[in-house]
Amino acid sequence: MFREVVLGLGNNAAVSGVVKRYGMSLGASRFVAGDSLSSAVPVCQDLNRRGIAVTLDHLGESVRDEPAAIAAKDSYLEILQTIAEKGLKANVSLKLTMMGLALSVDLARSNLAAVVETAAGFNNFVRIDMEDSPYTSITIDLFEEVWEKFPGHVGLVLQSYLYRTQDDLKRLSEPPKNFRIVKGAYRESVAVAFPSKPDVDDNYVELVRQSLELGNMTAIATHDEVIIGRVLKYLKSHQVLPEQFEFQMLYGVKLGVLEELAKEGYRTRVYVPYGQDWYAYYVRRIAERPANLLFFARALIDRR
Ligand SMILES: Cc1cc2nc3c(=O)[nH]c(=O)nc-3n(C[C@H](O)[C@H](O)[C@H](O)COP(=O)(O)OP(=O)(O)OC[C@H]3O[C@@H](n4cnc5c(N)ncnc54)[C@H](O)[C@@H]3O)c2cc1C
């Protein structure tokens, strides 16, 4: 309920005006590593020093015109170049609506292909984030197309809140690929998504189990320590090879837990977003936890 309200309010023009004006100084900077690639690089280097890999995300979604989509694609080529030059232990995550998907499928297809081809040239990897459900099928289609050309250099996100995901996972896993499993961060209707958290959580654990059994490289992307405990139990009792999975978390959330996992020898990665277009990302982070909204509201009051 809280989540639905915050995600709904996020679309309100008055609310977005205030948050865009003050958000970076009122909490957004906790989740966003600055507004440029040069501000994200030291964050990445620091995490690497702690034994944690990174996935860099240039924030942006639903670009409005073709030049913006081309510029977004170019920004990813620059990130891949920078990762190689600076020797960062990092790959990239991107959203297809930033590559122009809402404007034209062909535009998104060609931009995605260019980024993945460049990543393959650097022997690196591109993760396609999953957005809201109107884009699920086309995102899967474009992933499959580009995977055919560059297997090993591209992976997809699957969301446990969607009823369809177990079927998608089974079909996509022939042959095995690389999936990040998340709960799902968007506002979805009961027609497509489990409305209750226990169902989303149970489906999450089930998807991780199935993904591993089907032979996929599986990124376990959650801050939910109960789920992490359940997954660890499964990994140990089934002697899953350490190369077959990694734990992932978002920048600004539960880094200590991830560091502990890294110290225990598990592969770990932090999703590090940066860029000026941070608003929608920040609203989703607030919606995940009531305390984040209280923190924002208190900071706003203190400022006045
Ligand atoms: C690496 C990574 C990549 C992701 N990529 C996508 C994607 O492509 N598409 C998509 O739809 N979603 C994505 N997500 C977001 C995901 O869907 C969830 O919305 C988010 O991870 C919160 O769910 P949770 O699994 O942490 O569980 P929850 O049950 O939401 O949270 C468990 C606990 O973690 C802590 N926590 C969780 N979120 C926050 C927060 N924002 N601030 C502070 N504490 C918090 C709280 O203590 C909470 O009780 C991604 C998440 C991660 C970690």
User: Domains of the chain, with CATH numbers?
Assistant: 33-277 (3.20.20.220)
State yes or no: pLDDT of 304 exceeds 70.
no
Query: What is the reported pLDDT for 257?
Result: 98
pLDDT classification of 8: cutoffs 50, 70, 90: confident
Residues 6+ apart with CB under 8 A from 70: 100, 111
Cα angle 229, 231, 234 (rounded to 5 degrees) comes to 115
Span 15-59, pLDDT tens digits? 777 777 776 767 788 999 999 999 999 999 999 999 999 999 999
More confident site: 302 or 167: 167
CB of residue 90 inside a 6 A radius of ligand 1:
no
CB of residue 127 inside a 6 A radius of ligand 1:
no
More confident site: 8 or 199: 199
Using alpha carbons, select from 129, 194, 134 the residue that is nearest to residue 166. Answer: 194
Spatial separation of the C-alpha atoms in residues 250 and 272, rounded to whole Å: 7
Span 81-140, pLDDT tens digits? 999 999 999 999 999 999 999 999 999 999 999 999 999 999 999 999 999 999 999 999
Query: What is the reported pLDDT for 27?
Result: 78
Mean pLDDT of 249-264: 97
Amino acid in position 13: A
Assign 199 to helix, strand or coil: helix
pLDDT classification of 303: cutoffs 50, 70, 90: low
Query: What is the reported pLDDT for 14?
Result: 66
Q: How far is CA 218 from each of CA 123, 149, 205, 211, 280, rounded to the nearest angstrom? A: 19, 21, 12, 7, 26
- The torsion defined by the Cα of 219, 222, 225 and 227, in degrees rounded to 10, comes to -70
Nearest CA to ligand 1 atom 9: 130
State yes or no: pLDDT of 298 exceeds 90.
no
State yes or no: pLDDT of 186 exceeds 90.
yes
Span 187-235, pLDDT tens digits? 999 999 999 999 999 999 999 999 999 999 999 999 999 999 999 999 9
Instruction: From 127, 223, 247, give the residue whose CB has the most ligand 1 atoms within 8 Å, as the site to mutate.
Output: 223
pLDDT classification of 1: cutoffs 50, 70, 90: confident
CB of residue 293 inside a 6 A radius of ligand 1:
no
